[in-house]
Structure 1
Amino acid sequence: MVDLKSLHRFTFTVDPVADVPDDHFDAKTKIIRSALVGAAHPDNVISCEIRHDGEYQQRRPDKSVTTQWLLPKVSTRDAKTTPLLPPEEGFGDDPPLTAPTSLAFWGRGVGGSWQVTIPQQQFDTGLNLNGLTRIQVWIGYQFLHD
């Protein structure tokens, strides 16, 4: 949280072995939800940029990890100021056919380095992070299993 408050960004890593259940193979990103719990903005929603670096990782059925080296991708997503709560804010049904055009890294491996950045414009329009108590980033993915 310190990085988000001071630098307006934070990074995190998804490990395709440690962070994805053992029986989920070829996990590919399909949707992202986020919340900056306790932050305040006049719109009650904060526009953030979510970036996945160019190293897209996924675990294969034989337990090996494959990496696709592609260009980093960024999607602008809204973050709530209140907690994400399942199931009403879960990931829902299969994504619509337009999903590949709505999320820059749709269909790419979930593993790798991610970054969330808050553009300066959000602070210029009243964003206040003083009350920030928790950061939530939910990555919905599709997968194969045995």
Structure 2
Amino acid sequence: MVDLKSLHRFTFTVDPVADVPDDHFDAKTKIIRLALVGAAHPDNVVSCEIRHDGEYQQRWPDKSVTTQWLLPKVSTRDAKTTPLLPPEEGFGDDPPLTAPTSLAFWGRGVGGSWQVTIPQQQFDTGLNLNGLTRIQVWIGYQFLHG
């Protein structure tokens, strides 16, 4: 939270071996949900940019990891200012495999480095992070079960 409050961004890494359940293989990004719990904004949502650095990783049944080097991708997502709570904030039905246009990195491996940035325009329109108590990032993914 310190980086988000001072730099207006934070990074995190998803390890396809340590962070994805053992029986989920070939995990590919489907949807992302964000919450900046305790932040205040007149719209009650904060427009954020999510970036994947381009090193997309997936684990296979033999525990090997495949890395795809692709261009970094950025997608704009709204972050709630209240907690994400299942099932209301669930990921819903799977989007069609042929038409996932709402998320720039849809279908790419979940593993790798991610960054969430709050654009300055959000602060110019009233965003206040003084009450921020928790950051939630939910990455929904499709996978092969083994």
Please give the TM-score of this superposition, normalised by the length of structure 2.
0.97
CA shift, 1:99, in A, is: 5.0
Cα offset, 1:134, TM superposition: 0.2
Deviations 1:91-133 (A, max 9, x none): 1111246752110000000000000000000000000000000
Indicate conservation of the 8 Å contact 1:83/1:136, yes or no: yes
Q: CA deviation at 1:25?
A: 0.2
Is the counterpart of residue 111 in structure 1 residue 111 in structure 2? yes
SS of the residue 1:108 aligns to: coil
Q: CA deviation at 1:62?
A: 1.5
Superposed CA offset, 1:7-32 (max 9, x none): 00000000000000000000000000
**Map of 2:134 onto structure 1:** 134
SS at match of 2:20: coil
CA distance in 2, matches of 1:96, 1:26: 17
Q: Distance in 2 between matches of 1:40 and 1:95?
A: 31
- Tell me: CA distance 1:14–1:46, structure 2 relative to 1, closer, same or farther (3 Å): same
How many residue pairs match? The answer is 146
- Quickly say closer, same or farther: Cα 1:19–1:99, change in 2 above 3 A: farther
State how far apart, in whole Å, the 2-side matches of 1:114 and 1:79 are: 16
**Distance (whole Å) between structure 1 residues aligned to residue 61 and residue 83 of structure 2:** 34
Identity of aligned residues (%): 97
Would you say the 8 A contact 1:99–1:106 is kept in 2? no
Instruction: For residue 86 of structure 1, report the CA deviation from its aligned partner.
Output: 0.2
TM-score by length of 1: 0.97
**Structure 2 vs 1, CA of residues 99 and 14 (structure 1 numbering), >3 Å: closer, same or farther?**
farther
Distance in 1 between residues matched to 2:122 and 2:135, nearest whole Å: 17
Q: List per-residue Cα deviations over 1:26-49 (Å, max 9, x = no partner).
A: 000000000000000000000000
Gaps of 5+ in 2: none
Match of 1:143 in 2: 143
Cα shift at 1:145: 1.4
- Which consecutive unaligned segments of at least 5 residues does structure 1 have? none
Note if contact 1:34-1:79 (Cα within 8 Å) is conserved in structure 2. Answer: yes
Runs of 4+ in 1 over 3 A off after TM superposition: 96-99
